[in-house]
Structure 1
Amino acid sequence: MFKISMTPRFGDIDGLRHVNNNVLGVWFETGRNDIFRFFTPNLSLDYEDWKLILVRTEYDYLGQMFFDGDVEIRTYITKIGNSSFTIGHEAWQDNELKAKGLAVLVHFDFIEQKSVPIPDDIRTKLEEHLIDEADIGKL
């Protein structure tokens, strides 16, 4: 599991005085950076180097997050397929789970425009962060 801390910015807050729901997607994407490095160690954004494509995201908002405290983003793997894998995310503030979500990514060849199998060495790295779905929200 990977953990990062996000500090809400003034601009992240909406008229209801809580973290706006659109911010969560950005924070969860930031939480995926360590996983991106498995596929592209130098995080090059060159078309020829990038190896992943996002095909699905979903979020559940469980409680409001506010400006006055950091938010811990927890990121882990929930499923590994042949060319795709699912990433789980959690957002915690004040020791409470405030949001959770999933993102499905595909190992993708942008030149050939097709999915490709996840290499064994990367699969092994992903497996090190595999969390049983029954444990989600309890970590």
Structure 2
Amino acid sequence: MFKTTVTPRFGDIDGLKHANNISIAIWFEQARNPVFRLFTPDLDLSFEKWKLILARSEYDYVGEINYGFDVDINTYIARIGNSSFTIGHEAWQNGKLCARGLVVIVHYDFINKKSVPIPETIRGALEEHLIDAESSGKK
């Protein structure tokens, strides 16, 4: 599991003094960087090097996230397929689960515009972070 700590900024907070739902999506994207580095170590966004495309995302907001307290993001691999994999995220604040989400990422060849199998070496690295999504939700 990868861990990232985010400090909510003033602009992340809405009129109800809670983290805006789009902020959580942005924090989860930031927390995916260690996974992205498995495929593109320098995070170079050129078509020749970048190999991933987001195919699906879903979010559950299960508690409030407030300004003034850090948010811990846990990131794990929930499923690995032939050319795609699912990343799970959890946002915790003050010991409470506040949001969770899943995204499906496809290993993709942007030049030829098609999905490609995940290389075995990267598959092995992903498997090191494989956690059953049903058993997550525990800090």
TM-score class, shorter-chain normalisation, is over 0.9
* Residue in 1 that maps onto 2:87: 87
* Residue in 1 that maps onto 2:120: 120
Per-residue Cα deviation, 1:70-110 (whole angstroms, up to 9, x for no partner):
00011000000000000000000000000000000000000
- The SS at the match of 2:90 is strand
Cα drift, residue 133 of structure 1: 2.4
1:19 aligns with 2:19: yes
User: How many pairs are equivalent?
Assistant: 139
In structure 1, the gaps of 5 or more residues are none
| Cα distance between partner residues in 1 of 2:133 and 2:24 | 21
Per-residue Cα deviation, 1:15-74 (whole angstroms, up to 9, x for no partner):
001111110110000010000000001110111110000000000000010002000011
Paired AA for residue 3 in structure 1: K
| Cα distance between partner residues in 2 of 1:60 and 1:98 | 9
TM-score by length of 2: 0.98
Cα drift, residue 134 of structure 1: 2.8
* Residue in 2 that maps onto 1:53: 53
In structure 2, the gaps of 5 or more residues are none
1:31 aligns with 2:31: yes
| Cα distance between partner residues in 2 of 1:134 and 1:45 | 33
| Identical columns (%) | 63
TM-score by length of 1: 0.98
